[in-house]
Each structure stands twice: as structure tokens, then as C-alpha cells.
């Protein structure tokens, strides 16, 4: 059984960048619903119930066809949100990216400014609901998007940074102003955690 873990900060801790009501609904309603529907799907896939969420998403093809879409959507929703909660937090603890991560971003994108331009462009260009990711793959660092709740893990990538661009993540405060939400997101990134994820991705390949 997958369960909803508490956040390690209060729902209002990200204000004014992300409002408390959005955080509470997003965590207790949206994320919880993905978990409930994943658990329901796994009742019909006991071998999958024994796997970690990462193993499930890395091996979607082995899931029986009757539950594969549910595992992809709701397992992805669970994994994506679990990851997201760890890389955002209070602006007061945002910090800065590690020297190694900055060097890698400069190498891959030309400069931090160009990295953020590319990030913004991907976030605004994503039609409908989905996620923007900084990932490590066989070809190094890249920014990718996934539709719906598809996980970058299912594409064989290791996520380092992620942004939920479903409207439920920002609509109460930002309505149609996705660009303002993307800008606000930068204030609440927890760079120590993102830098740790980057280090792990470098050591795993
Ligand atoms: Mn969401």
C-alpha cells in the first residue's frame, strides 16, 4: 500500500509564491487521489504491489495491460508529486545550486540564464497538463516535458528538478498566468536537495 507522506513544511510556508490553499488541496486531495487509484490498480497486480514506485514506473511494459494505464497515470502522479514536494519549500531555505551543478548547467546550456530561458520556454510551450523536468540521461543533462502524469523515470531518465504545470498547481493564485507561476517557482526551489539529486545522478552512471 502506498501512503501519503506529510510535507516537511507547513502549507503556508511557500507564501506568497505558492498559496496555502493550493498547497493543501494539491497535497491532500490531488496527490491522495493518485495514491488511492494506484492502490486500487495494484489490487489487480500483486507483483507490482511488491515493487517500489520507481521500479513500477521504470518497468511499465511488464504491468498487465488491464492495469498498465492506471499504473502509468496514478503511479506517475504519486511519484511526480512525491518528488516535487522535496524540491520545493520555503523561500528562506531555497539556497543556491552547488558549484558542480552550476558547472554542469553552464556546460549543457551555455549559462544559467540560458538554462532558465529554456526552462521557461518548455514550461510555457507545454500544451495542456504535464510536467517540466531537468533530467540526467545517457546524453547528459536535458530539459524535457511529459504529458499528463507521465514520469521521466519511465523514459529512462533520472529527475533532478521538476515543475508541475497542471492548472491545479497554480490556478487559485495565478489563473491563466502560467509565466508568473513559473517565475514564482524559482523562489521556492530547494537547491540543496536538487544539488543532492544531481550528485546521485552522476554517481549512478
Ligand atoms: Mn499536481
Q: Residue 40 pLDDT > 60, yes or no?
A: yes
In the predicted model, what is the mean pLDDT of residues 14-31?
Answer: 98
Three-point CA angle 51, 134, 95, nearest 5°: 105
Report pLDDT for 88: 98
Cα of 103 from ligand 1 centre, angstroms = 30
Is 25 in a helix, a strand, or coil? helix
CATH superfamily of 20-89: Fe,Mn superoxide dismutase (SOD) domain (1.10.287.990)
In the predicted model, what is the mean pLDDT of residues 196-200?
Answer: 96
Q: Residue 22 pLDDT > 90, yes or no?
A: yes
Q: How far apart are CA 163 and CA 161, in angstroms?
A: 7
Report pLDDT for 203: 83
Cα of 93 from ligand 1 centre, angstroms = 22
Report pLDDT for 139: 85
Report pLDDT for 37: 98
Three-point CA angle 125, 98, 137, nearest 5°: 50
Listed residue (74, 81, 88) closest to 28, CA to CA: 81
Q: How far apart are CA 181 and CA 132, in angstroms?
A: 13
Q: Residue 205 pLDDT > 70, yes or no?
A: no
φ, ψ (nearest 5 deg) of residue 64:
-55, 145
Is 13 in a helix, a strand, or coil? coil
**What are the domain boundaries of the chain?**
20-89, 92-203
Listed residue (195, 158, 11, 176) closest to 79, CA to CA: 158
Residue 2 assigned to a binding site: no
3.55.40.20, 3.40.50.11540, 3.10.105.10, 3.40.120.10: CATH of 92-203? 3.55.40.20
The answer, as to whether pTM is greater than 0.85, is yes
Residue 17 assigned to a binding site: no
Residue 19 assigned to a binding site: no
pLDDT averaged over every residue in the chain: 97
Cα of 37 from ligand 1 centre, angstroms = 15
In the predicted model, what is the mean pLDDT of residues 116-131?
Answer: 97
Q: What is the pLDDT of residues 69-101, one digit of tens each?
A: 999 999 999 999 999 999 999 999 999 999 999
Report pLDDT for 170: 97
Cα of 69 from ligand 1 centre, angstroms = 18
Cα of 128 from ligand 1 centre, angstroms = 13
Q: Residue 180 pLDDT > 60, yes or no?
A: yes
- Give all strands of the β-sheet with 140-147 in edge-to-edge order: 140-147, 130-137, 158-164
Residue 81 assigned to a binding site: yes
In the predicted model, what is the mean pLDDT of residues 174-201?
Answer: 97
Q: How confident is the model at residue 29 (pLDDT cuts 50, 70, 90)?
A: very high
Cα of 99 from ligand 1 centre, angstroms = 30
Amino acid at each position: 500500500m502506498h501512503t501519503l507522506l506529510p510535507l516537511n513544511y507547513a502549507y503556508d510556508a511557500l507564501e506568497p509564491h505558492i498559496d496555502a490553499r493550493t498547497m493543501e488541496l494539491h497535497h491532500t486531495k490531488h496527490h491522495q487521489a493518485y495514491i488511492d487509484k494506484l492502490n486500487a490498480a495494484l489490487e489487480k497486480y500483486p507483483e507490482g504491489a511488491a515493487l517500489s514506485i520507481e521500479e513500477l514506473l521504470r518497468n511499465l511494459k511488464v504491468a498487465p495491460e488491464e492495469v498498465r494505464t492506471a499504473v502509468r497515470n496514478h503511479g506517475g502522479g504519486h511519484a511526480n508529486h512525491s518528488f516535487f514536494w522535496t524540491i520545493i519549500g520555503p523561500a528562506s531555505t531555497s539556497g543556491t545550486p552547488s558549484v558542480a551543478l552550476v558547472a554542469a548547467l553552464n556546460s549543457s546550456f551555455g549559462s544559467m540564464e540560458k538554462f532558465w530561458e529554456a526552462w521557461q520556454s518548455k514550461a510555457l510551450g507545454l500544451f495542456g497538463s504535464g510536467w517540466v523536468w531537468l533530467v540526467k540521461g545517457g546524453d547528459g543533462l536535458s530539459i524535457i516535458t511529459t504529458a499528463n502524469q507521465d514520469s521521466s523515470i519511465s523514459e529512462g531518465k533520472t529527475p533532478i528538478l521538476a515543475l508541475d504545470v497542471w492548472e491545479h498547481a497554480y490556478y487559485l493564485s495565478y489563473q491563466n498566468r502560467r509565466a508568473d507561476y513559473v517565475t514564482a517557482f524559482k523562489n521556492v526551489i530547494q537547491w540543496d536537495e536538487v544539488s543532492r539529486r544531481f550528485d546521485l545522478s552522476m554517481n549512478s552512471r
